[in-house]
Structure 1
Amino acid sequence: MGFYISSEKTKFGRMLNFVKSLYSGLCIGLGGTAYLSCDNKILGAFLFGLGLFTILNFGFNLFTGKVGYFVNNKPGYWGFLGIVWLGNFAGTFLFARMMSATRYGAALQAKANALCLVKDGDSIGSLLVLGIFCGMLMFIAADGFKTIENQLGKIITVFLPVMVFILSGFEHCIADMFYFSLAGDFSPAMLQSLVVVSIGNSIGGGLIPLMQKMKEKKAA
């Protein structure tokens, strides 16, 4: 089950995947900005979901929406995921830098700083666990959008998991890229946090498809 273009190994394929990943980073930046701009956390969590909905609707590449499918792909799929991760980082960084240049930049940066202080001060074990749960929710959203035929169901399966992960305080590595970029926090602690959360998101994203694969083997 390949979920990346067949020309991924070509120069054009890698570039296209990177651009689609960069677009996803911009979309997450859009959702993150909406979240930071809202005093009401519930409303902010709901509006953040617009970023993921846009990504899935237009077929962009988001690391947390793709990583769970490593279970059904060959090892080369990790090369594709590496391109997606870097493209997502580039997109979130670009969006953050553009927002910093606006009249809202200072206020958004202050809120991002507060979030980053919590993440930088967290333990590796805590970040990993919070990343795992977020990874599970992102797979539910991405796979549900792909497999559910009812249009209302598609919308619910995208927005609800996003709201749950934000309101629960779970860690999303691409959202964290945006917050760190907006805060201008490029410390070793930030990089460590991103790596740990990315691993957690990968583990969580693979749990459900791994169980599905085991059930299929048992049935066969």
Structure 2
Amino acid sequence: MNGFLTPKEINECMVTSGKAKASLPIGKMLLLGIFAGMYVGLGAYGFTIVTSGAGSGFEATLAKFIGAGVFPVGLMLIIFCGAELFTGNCTLTLALAKKEITLGSLLRNLTVVYLANFVGSVLLAWLLFKSGLYSGEAMAAKAIGIAEAKTAIPLLPIIIRATFCNILVVLAVMMQAGSKDIIGKIFAIWFPIMLFVLAGFEHCVANMFFLPIGLFLGADITWSQIIINNLIPVTIGNVIGGAFVVPGVYYYTYLRTNKEAINAASDPVIAATAE
């Protein structure tokens, strides 16, 4: 008996999961979304701890790798303990394409979860700021540096980085769904998430923590810069990668039935578009 699902089975599993997520009551979406924002923020806090004391050159690269290795704990908590993460929920487009959910239910889930992720992330940032854990000069300087650097990234590069980020995030979600044991799920989550952090890609929910904690500590940024310079373009890129690129390819490859293909070919509008 295989310890993992086939790619087609994984995608079918994501459709079933998407249907369940879209039908959650708003109250549960909010609570689980707040928890997810805090879980990702804890991973981001761990990353800051590891990298705050590093120097330059190879030492900084090694510290970044170790920090990137700590960060995936956030998604592990979300998957294993149960929470709702905006970037992972972008795969609900698979259920939409299979007509298992409506566009309205998809937008309802993503909107509520996004706002809840924001609340959870900012709440954790404020609590950690008040805790005194950032009182050390190195920790504060690292958090401030991260926040100021993220708000200074130009528009096109930040969208590209965000697109690649959520390609890796949704692949991690799909890979863990394909594993039938906890150890397999841990490794399936760890490698893609570690890679996106190490690569310097941009994750909107992680930035909901990184940017406010930097602001609270005195970074030379404003809330409008946080939202306009970073969160909006990063969210756009995350949606492109996680809701369209990966689900689009895998829907076409594994979920689109012959009947759907025949209907599409016979539809004059689709046929004209294809030509």
Normalised TM-score (structure 1):
0.91
Measure, in 1, the Cα distance between the counterparts of 2:124 and 2:201: 22
Q: Where has structure 1 moved over 4 Å in runs of 4 or more?
A: none
What aligned pairs does 1:186-205 form with structure 2 within 5 A after superposition?
186-192=222-228, 193-205=230-242
Computing the radius of gyration over CA atoms, which structure comes out larger, 1 or 2? 2
**Counterpart residue type for residue 70 of structure 1:** T
Given the alignment, which residue of 48, 60, 63 partners 2:83?
Answer: 60
Separation (CA, whole Å) in 1 of partners of 2:120 and 2:202 = 18
Counterpart contact for 1:100–1:109, Cα < 8 Å: no
Q: Does the residue aligned with 1:141 lie in a helix, a strand or coil?
A: helix
1:93 pairs with 102, 111, 122, which one? 122
| Greater shift in the superposed pair: 186-195 or 59-68 | 186-195
In the other structure, the counterpart of 1:212 is 250
Aligned to 1:38: 50
After superposition, give the CA deviation of every residue in 1:4-41 in whole Å (9 maximum; x if it has no partner). 152x4xxxx11110000000111111111110000322
> Quick one: which of 129, 147, 164 aligns to 1:116?
147
Of residues 146-155 and 52-61 in structure 1, the stretch that sits farther from structure 2 once superposed is 146-155
Given that residues 166 and 239 in structure 2 are in contact (C-alpha distance below 8 angstroms), is that contact kept between their aligned partners in structure 1? yes
Residue correspondences, number:
215
Residues 5 and 59 of structure 1: CA distance in aligned 2, closer, same or farther (over 3 Å):
farther
Tell me, yes or no, if structure 1 residue 84 matches structure 2 residue 113.
Answer: yes
Can you give the 5+ residue segments of structure 2 that lack an aligned partner in the other structure? 1-14, 52-62, 97-101, 216-220, 260-275
The yes-or-no answer on 1:141 pairing with 2:141 is no
Distance in 1, matches of 2:161 and 2:111, equals 21
In structure 1, stretches of 5+ residues that fail to align are none
Moved more, 106-115 or 87-96: 106-115
Q: Are the aligned partners of 2:146 and 2:214 in contact in 1 as well (CA < 8 Å)?
A: no
Please tell me whether the aligned partners of residues 134 and 165 of structure 1 are also in contact (alpha carbons under 8 angstroms). yes
Alpha-carbon RMSD across the aligned residues, in angstroms, is 1.6
Distance in 2 (alpha carbons) for counterparts of 1:196 and 1:3:
29
CA distance in 1, matches of 2:172, 2:192: 6
Q: Corresponding residue for 1:22? A: 34
For residues 181 and 258 of structure 2, what CA distance do their matches in structure 1 show?
A: 28
Greater alpha carbon shift after TM alignment, 114-123 vs 103-112? 103-112
Contact kept in structure 2, 1:134 and 1:171, CA below 8 Å: yes
* 1:153 aligned to which of 154, 173, 184: 184
Q: Find the counterpart in structure 2 of residue 49 from structure 1.
A: 72
Residue 131 of structure 1 is matched in structure 2 by 162
In structure 1, C-alpha distance between the alignment counterparts of 2:38 and 2:165, rounded to whole Å: 20
> 1:179 is matched with which residue: 210, 220, 229?
210
Percent identity of paired positions between Structure 1 and Structure 2: 27
What's the CA shift for 1:79?
A: 1.5
Could you tell me the TM-score, scaled by structure 2's length? 0.74
Structure 2 letter corresponding to 1:20: L
C-alpha distance in 2 between matches for 1:26 and 1:92: 5
Most deviating of 37-46 and 135-144: 37-46
Task: List per-residue Cα deviations over 1:122-163 (Å, max 9, x = no partner).
Answer: 111011000000010000111122222143221111111111
| Distance (whole Å) between structure 2 residues aligned to residue 119 and residue 198 of structure 1 | 14
Query: Secondary structure, in 3 states, of the residue corresponding to 1:92?
Result: helix
